[in-house]
Structure 1
């Protein structure tokens, strides 16, 4: 069983290790979102997000038979960052919800260890973040993903997100040939 909660301050290094492992496991796979070690998500960004209370993690219960496949004793299986910081380019989105930046939650680096794909953990994680945003009085949750991320897009759409546009050359520093899809979940 998975419990979704905010990461504790003492789990910052476990969160960094989780993303390091996800980057390694995604490389070259059909779900590779092109994250780079020490660049995106950077360890400094991850540590700061944990310290700010912006990191949500999916933690396997100790009695889960798959707990040993998680990241060591931490049992972290998935994670995301949720804050109000939109990436440059979000102003181009054809957003359905009229909201000021502080009225919107933005999801970043949503990921699950490959050993746990297909178990609904990412859906639980995203759903819990939507619930947390709603409880915080936000008007919408937004995110972006590469148009080539079929798994992620399917997940977001199944959680109530709507694609509000696809934009070429959105992240020039990653790969200027990839288009980015912007998503919004009205609350």
Structure 2
């Protein structure tokens, strides 16, 4: 599988939206580990904001977007529940991973690992000292992946999500 991971351009928003819709449809039809809902999160508007900020990355198989992630320094205020994750943290030197998604037809092929590895390369090139992310405590597959990729749990926070839920999430960090 020849995969290209690159920063999204404005003309990639249709592909990002299709990816999000396909992922949400599959999640809603099965076990919805992250609690995403089509039309609520993630959406084209989320992709547009991330792309405009230069933070949206897409994985491509030819002309098809098959994976995505958002890389930025935008810490959720709920992170402050965990020591070292509040406003006093060194956020300019910490790269956050948000909205890691893999198309259902490509799950189980190592694409999420490749996206995480790509984020790590970009973080190292930018002089970041760590990668950070959050994951709902019930998202067992993602937790397993993150731990296998060297992320360590720093604690748990009650996260307030745009889908209208408050869920316990683990906050993970990988020191670089």
TM-score (normalizing by structure 2): 0.88
Structure 2 residue aligned with 1:80: 69
> 1:172 offset after TM fit, Å?
6.1
CA distance in 2, matches of 1:59, 1:46: 16
Q: CA RMSD in A?
A: 2.0
Determine whether 1:39 maps to 2:29.
no
> 1:54 offset after TM fit, Å?
0.8
Structure 1 residue aligned with 2:50: 49
Larger strand proportion of the pair: 2
CA distance in 2, matches of 1:92, 1:185: 19
Where do residues 165-176 of structure 1 align in structure 2 (5 Å cutoff)?
Answer: 165-167=155-157, 169-171=158-160, 174-176=164-166
| Cα deviation code 1:86-110 (max 9, x no counterpart) | 11211222449x8522111111110
TM-score (normalizing by structure 1): 0.83
Aligned to 2:113, what secondary structure does the other structure show? Answer: helix
**Preserved CA contact (<8 Å) 2:33 2:139:** yes
Give every structure 1 segment of 4 or more consecutive aligned residues whose post-TM-superposition deviation is greater than 4 Å: none
CA distance in 2, matches of 1:31, 1:42: 16
**Residue ranges of structure 2 left out of the alignment (5+ in a row):** none
| Cα deviation code 1:98-136 (max 9, x no counterpart) | 852211111111010111111000100111011101111
Count, aligned residues: 172
CA distance in 2, matches of 1:162, 1:171: 22
| Cα deviation code 1:17-75 (max 9, x no counterpart) | 21111111111523531112333223222112112221111111x4xxxxxxxxxxx31
Structure 1 residue aligned with 2:82: 93
Which of 80, 89, 95 matches 1:105? Answer: 95
